[in-house]
Structure 1
């Protein structure tokens, strides 16, 4: 895989400065359809062994929330990639935002890395191979000591250098570094959280599946809600709910495969 990595004088940065690592993230929500691939830019903001990994939309949402109080939320619970790390304290946490609340899901699975002697050039960086398991998947990573940070995309960390490429053995998920730059403020906007575990996570996901538009709690089950399609035709909310439920069932290929939910 050919990568182009923009390198902005990393050797002049000291560890106390803020850095941003931008990854191209590709993932298949339907493992049976190899052509159905999502691609997003996701950002690892790092300073003093503390980092936040999130996609560009989530970072913009955090900035808006801190600057003017406005909030942007994605619907649903699954397919969230927002991760906080404190490497010094070995604390890794996913943040799940649902119905205006931020839930904190600690990641307690230990990454047991097996470092190989295999090496290759990725972009301009000499990289080395390492393998681990996480979330019921086998992962192959390439890290470089030329970027001396023991971090990486999503929950991945703990190698002697930055992870610049990692993908699972099924080729369902991949993260590849495409840019390195001096970072701006990390700005953590999601500090008021409710701690949950995977069982509670499943409860939230099923709650969304059963009532995607949350009509029962927000409007009362006696309310009649309708939508208008692009042609101007009116449709009952049950039709829209069914569309979302079908999408969830068809796109049930989570990165944590060992926590896949049976709806």
Structure 2
């Protein structure tokens, strides 16, 4: 699939605005292909970023399908990835079954490999980098032509702005569409915890993949025609194998 994106502002002057909004086109080539808009807000001092997505629609529908219940059920609340670089904390709001959860972890180390390969798109030179992160191999194309060092979802740590990133199977894909100055309230009540329970990334993985959150009431919420597959044998999503699982395997 050929993807085209448009760069509006190759150079950003942070002093002029409170934050920068970077918009991505997000393509999920999964069992139910989905297209989303991804919005990355970067604070003027780059010490905080917030990434949220907005669903555009499914490219196809099928009533008789096998489905990972952790993906299909939704709480209806908007999720996000909130980076606090000063305190080295990443807080993610995500759904497990029908419940919205706050997951806290240290900012991940992607261990990028910077390659010599590059390409030119819209007169912007993009450099190639690769990494393995939580069960998937990713390919990124980034530019050092701006002062911004950020990317969509949890992707960060490269010496520039990520323009394209996708896993090697092209199951999950992000393509930069627009960069513009804007304002964003990083102290918004939407980012406040409001006494909501915070769980660790290990607890999140346990609930999502080991079936500890599954009960009979949950089964009644499944879409008509959906068949529950084994949570322990079938994993889907961006993160399918975690650091402590890799360590156990090595030992």
Q: TM-score, normalised by structure 1?
A: 0.67
Q: Is the 8 A contact 2:145 2:160 kept in 1?
A: yes
Q: Provide the residue aligned with 2:6 in structure 1.
A: 5
Q: SS at 2:203's partner residue? A: helix
Q: Provide the residue aligned with 1:254 in structure 2.
A: 237
- The structure-2 alpha-carbon separation of the partners of 1:184 and 1:207, relative to structure 1 and needing over 3 Å to count, comes to farther
Cα deviation 1:148-188 (Å, max 9, x = unaligned): 21111111111111111111112111111011112232454
Cα deviation 1:72-94 (Å, max 9, x = unaligned): xx9448xx962111234433232
- The structure-2 alpha-carbon separation of the partners of 1:15 and 1:203, relative to structure 1 and needing over 3 Å to count, comes to farther
CA distance in 2: counterparts of 1:171 and 1:185, whole angstroms: 31
Q: Provide the residue aligned with 1:169 in structure 2.
A: 168
Q: SS at 1:255's partner residue? A: coil
CA distance in 2: counterparts of 1:28 and 1:105, whole angstroms: 28
2:33 maps to 1:37: yes
RMSD, aligned α-carbons: 3.4
Cα deviation 1:171-213 (Å, max 9, x = unaligned): 1111110111122324541321422124422454436643565
Tell me the number of residue pairs that the alignment of Structure 1 and Structure 2 aligns.
Answer: 214
Q: Provide the residue aligned with 1:18 in structure 2.
A: 19
**Which of these two proteins has the greater Rg computed from alpha carbons?**
1
Q: Provide the residue aligned with 1:243 in structure 2.
A: 226
CA distance in 2: counterparts of 1:160 and 1:23, whole angstroms: 19
2:42 maps to 1:46: yes
Shift of 1:132: 1.2
Cα deviation 1:115-150 (Å, max 9, x = unaligned): 111111133421111111111111111110112211
Shift of 1:37: 2.1
CA distance in 2: counterparts of 1:9 and 1:129, whole angstroms: 18
CA distance in 2: counterparts of 1:256 and 1:107, whole angstroms: 15
Q: Provide the residue aligned with 1:113 in structure 2.
A: 112
CA distance in 2: counterparts of 1:76 and 1:204, whole angstroms: 15
Q: Is the 8 A contact 2:10 2:146 kept in 1?
A: no
- The structure-2 alpha-carbon separation of the partners of 1:149 and 1:15, relative to structure 1 and needing over 3 Å to count, comes to farther
Structure 1 unaligned residues grouped into runs of 5+: 31-35, 58-73, 215-236
Shift of 1:253: 1.9
2:212 maps to 1:195: no
More helix by share: 1
Q: Provide the residue aligned with 2:144 in structure 1.
A: 145
Structure 2 unaligned residues grouped into runs of 5+: 56-71, 243-251
Q: TM-score, normalised by structure 2?
A: 0.70
Shift of 1:41: 0.5
Q: Is the 8 A contact 1:96 1:105 kept in 2?
A: no
Q: SS at 1:84's partner residue? A: strand
